[in-house]
Structure 1
Amino acid sequence: MTHARPTPPETDANHAIVIGAGLGGLASAMRLGAKGWRVTVIDRLDLPGGRGSSITQGGHRFDLGPTIVTVPQGLRELWATCGRDFDRDVNLKPMEPFYEIRFPDGETFTARQDDAAMRAEVARISPRDVAGYDKFLKDSEARYWFGFEDLGRRSMHRLVDLIKVLPTFVKMRADRSVYAHAAGRVKDERLRFALSFHPLFIGGDPFNVTSMYILVSHLEKAFGVHYAMGGVQAIAAAMARVVEAQGGEVLQGVEVDEILTEGGRASGVRLASGEVLRAAVVVSNADAGHTYTRLLRNMPRKRWTDAKVKRQRWSMGLYVWYFGTQGTKDMWRDVGHHSIVVGPRYRDHIKDIFIRGKLADDMSLYVHRPSVTDPSVAPEGGDTFYALSPVPHLGFGGVDWAEEEPRYREKMARMLDERLIPGFRDHITESLVFTPETFRDRYLSPNGSGFSIEPRILQSAYFRPHNVSEELPGLYLCGAGTHPGAGLPGVVGTAEVLGTLVQDAPLRRAEPLPDLPMAAE
């Protein structure tokens, strides 16, 4: 990756610019490179990956964003499109078990890939719900084939595309929420949580997000849950290497200030330094809201006006505490790679976050402990953690994070101490905190939201920002705020859709690509 001034392209007609080196932007750059485009990726951070990048501090590597790989074949297909082998470049480790959920009453739910083990887990908690659980899995698979393999792999930018699928949406009761669908199949509230919390990992309210998203349960069952050795940062770095091997550039520490137009179409970008780069194709991996309200601020817009962007329902904010410990390698042997610690409330707490915009006294946590799988994340004898709590986004106002952050961290510490890793505070050697303000400032995320626009039914598919911009020919969008949506499979999928919309480069190269180094074990 380069941190220097960009090299002028041999011809603007063969040049594509990608704004943002998030996973969606890098995947888009790879697909454009495979089509013969000479791609320049421009990113304001110091490492590729966007929200999937990392920070190393005191020997601890903190993976900042996504930690789970659920659809590895999507990455393998992406690499194959570029004439490469994903498994040669990235080392994936299957998780077994996937994760453990710890409930306030002391009960646990351990998610695994094996059917018999999962049915036994359901039967252990609530024998009467086994049949309903089986039905839920069938529902999940049906929505996977329709929502993920069909709609999720093609553009939804035309109204006719929506009209054609409306009967299937009606048949599958897409108007129901994820929680409502789970509640219709199982009676035990703990199992209802276990089958409905997944939308939170893509920024959605389980009580309002369309039940199409129950497809995640099938993704886990069919393809497993994996961890990339070196973290998702390792996937991003491998993506950047492919782009460079294709003849492209990945520029870090460089910020785009504006998308330029000429003759009624995108013609390049102006950098924050004032330098202008010309291109025939511009792809924005910046948040869709930022793209339209900031990067296109000087052109009239018909659909994605400032007022419309402001009216969108945005995903929740995130409070994330990254911390490293020393002398704990042999402690907390019952705490695995992924843990979910559930608070005393579910529906009402979610309403505090998404509807009332209130910072509650209680919380639920997702805790990531990659050091049990990947020794490279921590110094010898140590552990690396992050604990994530959903919180209201900044658009609600009312939370002064400069004042609230220390108090909220203390509440989180007490919960971790009491319910997961007792005594951990005595071993902390490194600490780093992200609040919604960090997401706003670091990722230019509107309202400091963690996952861009919330994936409600009227903010999904046709109603979500399209992968081809209706505002400006030659401009394309990818990433969490666009179709098909957030989450690692989603953002990689946005690049697949984009790849069907962009034509091959006018001057297609034919020379062979060089080999890349093997993935680290």
Structure 2
Amino acid sequence: MKHIAVIGAGLGGLSAAISLASKGFKVTVIERNEHIGGKMMPITADGHRFDFGPNTITMPEIFQSVILESGADPDDYFTFEKLARHTVNHFPDGRTLTFATGREAMRTEVDRFTNGQLAKNDITGYQEEVAHLFQIAKQQFFVNIDSYFNFSLLRDMTKVHPLKTLHGLHKKYFKDPQLIQALDRYATYIGSSPFQAPATFGLIAHLELNDGVYFTHGGNTAIAEGFARRARELGVVFRLGEEVTQIEVTNQLATEIELNHIDYLSVDFIVLNGDLLTQYPRLISETIRPDFKNPTPSQMEPSISAYVRCIGLSRRIEGLAHHNVFFSSDYEAEFKALFDQHRYAEEPTIYISNSSVTAPEMGIAGDNLFVLVNAPATHKGPIIDFDTYDKIIDQRLQHFGIDITSDVLFEQRITPQDIEQKFSAYHGSLYGLSSNGTRGAFMRPSNRSKNVHNLFFAGGSTHPGGGSPMVTLSGKLASERIVSAVASTL
């Protein structure tokens, strides 16, 4: 029986472990942290529970397919609830725009927001275009790609607007600057700037506005918990709190992994489900991987990071939805600060998840506020005083009529430096590489090492990209490659 080591128990590693174990492979998952799920990490306090990430779930069928294809019923492991009116966008002048699931609901809301000044065919055309972008991506990019230079891929690449920015796509359809700003925010779902990321990522709007936003019963971390339970049922062995310190390579094949500098585990294949940009260089000497040089920020731009405050209140804030966005007055200046000047924005856009609105058990004592602002990667920029920045955040929210400073029972900060350290994230980035420009967006590292032939990759820093559904899919794609590799030797 072939033995496969999965390094990292994030969603990509869990997905690969389940897929491989269900096909008869012996699988061991090694995880440096004591929890399973990677960034999908619960934070709990008396009377409050928070999902560190993600707070928004789309494409539930991706998570369900992992369980279903292993021979079990996904509903026995986690279930989802679709949120009808899921995100309220707030603007400094007092206007609000509520994102809802379903084409007709969005047309009605956009018509209200623009006072009927937007032609119906504009919003309809946009909805159809982003749906078309998604269908092309699903067929061409959500699969294993051995070469970017094939006719079918190059042909369809021209159809997804690789040279137009996301902001440019939105300006094509809409004139209202605040409507454009709300849609531009989808670039942050891949850690990038709407003024630089390709228009292709309009497909995220399709997922949220046409298809739907979901919440997992029990908290979104229930997905990772369900994956872990199914993996154990299939015989997967978890070694938590243990660190892989080296991968031994002989004749371009990984032969064993070193654990904690003292123990060794023989392997036939490896799935590396860590941040590829930090873990591949850490575990294998550059001389052995000439096709993957040690990355630098000037060559491989990190995605944005995040500064998070988990705040548990003893009360409910009237008017907060499950998902809330409080926008800055100058979005372009905000992204210039993050990417060009490598600093925190003076007037940040603030996201608040308050999942206790949907699931009161997430905040029994009161609202459970997951407060997030975009942050620069850690490789440059001045040291910030978070006490002072908290005051900026608090004052901005008070401008919108939201007070998060009183009746606080619990508060915990997570900084970009924390993300870098705890998750070995590339300069604290949430998604590895940014997708600013065509290279970062379309030519992410492959799921298979070119130099170590039995080493495969999963996670947000490899193909097909960041975000929980894509990370989960990357594990399935790595599994497919291993199954093919074994079959070719029979």
| TM-score, length of structure 2 as denominator length | 0.94
**Counterpart selection for 1:372 from 350, 357, 360:** 357
Q: One-letter code of the match for 2:479? A: G
Matched, 1:336 2:325: no
2:401 equivalent to 1:413: no
Please list the CA deviations of residues 276-312 of structure 1 after superposition, one character each: whole Å capped at 9, or x if unmatched: 1111110011101012221113643222101567610
Confirm or deny: 8 A CA contact 2:328 2:348 kept in the other structure.
yes
Over 3 Å counting, the alpha-carbon distance change for 1:73 and 1:352 in structure 2 is: same
Asked if 1:428 corresponds to 2:408, the answer is yes
C-alpha separation between the residues in 2 aligned to 1:361 and 1:394? Answer: 17
Residue 144 of structure 2: which of 155, 160, 165 is its match?
155
Distance 1:164 1:266 in 2: 34
- Match among 7, 12, 29 for residue 24 of structure 1: 12
Could you tell me how far apart the structure 2 residues matched to 1:82 and 1:269 are? 27
> How far apart in 2 are the matches of 1:297 and 1:433?
35
Residue 483 of structure 2 aligns with which residue?
503
Contact 1:21/1:285 (8 A) holds in 2: yes
The answer for the alignment partner of 2:467 in structure 1 is 487
1:389 paired residue number: 373
Q: What residue number does 2:154 align with? A: 166
Moved over 3 A (4+): 307-310, 504-507
Distance 2:485 2:291 in 1: 29
- Verify: 1:345 aligned to 2:330, yes or no: yes
**Aligned match of 1:446 in 403, 418, 426?**
426
1:171 and 1:223 map into 2 onto residues whose CA distance is 21
The one-letter amino acid paired with 1:400 is I
Secondary structure at the aligned position of 1:150 is classed as helix
Question: Equivalent residue for 2:223?
Answer: 235
- Supply the distance in 2 between the matched residues of 1:59 and 1:270 (Cα, whole angstroms): 41
Of the candidates 142, 155, 165, which is equivalent to residue 132 of structure 2?
A: 142
Superposition deviation, residue 415 in structure 1: 1.9
**1:43-122 to 2 correspondences below 5 Å:** 43-122=31-110
1:472 Cα deviation after fit: 1.0
Is the counterpart of residue 132 in structure 1 residue 116 in structure 2?
A: no
User: C-alpha deviations, 1:68-104, integer Å up to 9, x for none?
Assistant: 2110111222111101111221121111212110011
Q: Deviation at 1:498?
A: 1.7
Hey, what's the Cα distance between the residues in 2 that align with 1:28 and 1:409? 39
CA deviation vs aligned residue, 1:147-197 (integer Å, no higher than 9, x gap) = 1x1123311232434x53223222332211111101111011011112221
Instruction: Provide closer, same or farther for how the CA distance between residues 100 and 501 of structure 1 changes in structure 2, counting only shifts above 3 A.
Output: same
Deviates more, 1:54-63 or 1:481-490: 54-63
- How much identity, in percent, do the aligned residues show? 26
CA contact (8 A) 2:94 2:400 kept: no
How do residues 220-369 of structure 1 correspond to structure 2 at under 5 angstroms? 220-297=208-285, 299-307=287-295, 311-326=299-314, 328=315, 331-369=316-354
CA pair 253-349 structure 1, distance change in 2 beyond 3 A:
same
Deviation at 1:111, TM superposition (A): 0.8
- TM-score when normalising by structure 1: 0.89
Indicate if the aligned counterparts of 2:8 and 2:30 stay in contact, CA closer than 8 A. Answer: yes
> Do the aligned residues in 1 keep the contact of 2:197 with 2:441 (CA within 8 Å)?
no
Look up the match of 1:519.
none
* Displacement of 1:139: 1.1
- Answer whether contact 1:464 1:481 (CA < 8 A) is retained: yes
Q: Give the gaps of 5 or more residues in structure 1.
A: 1-12, 508-521
How many residue pairs are counted as aligned between the two chains? 484
Cα deviation 1:17-68 (Å, max 9, x = unaligned): 1111111111111111122111111111121110001122334222111012
Confirm or deny: 8 A CA contact 1:72 1:223 kept in the other structure.
no
Superposed CA deviations along residues 231-273 of structure 1, whole A, max 9, x for unmatched, are 2221101101111111111222111112221232122311124
Q: Name the Cα RMSD after superposition.
A: 1.9
Name the amino acid aligned to 1:72.
P
Please list every run of 5 or more consecutive structure 2 residues that lacks an aligned counterpart in the other structure: none
- 2:444 alignment counterpart: 464
Distance 1:56 1:297, change over 3 A: farther
- One-letter code of the match for 2:398? D
Secondary structure of 1:197's counterpart equals: helix
Equivalent residue, structure 1, for 2:196: 208
Partner deviation per Cα, 1:391-437 (whole Å, 9 max, x = no partner): 11112x22214xx1111112112222332522x31211111111110
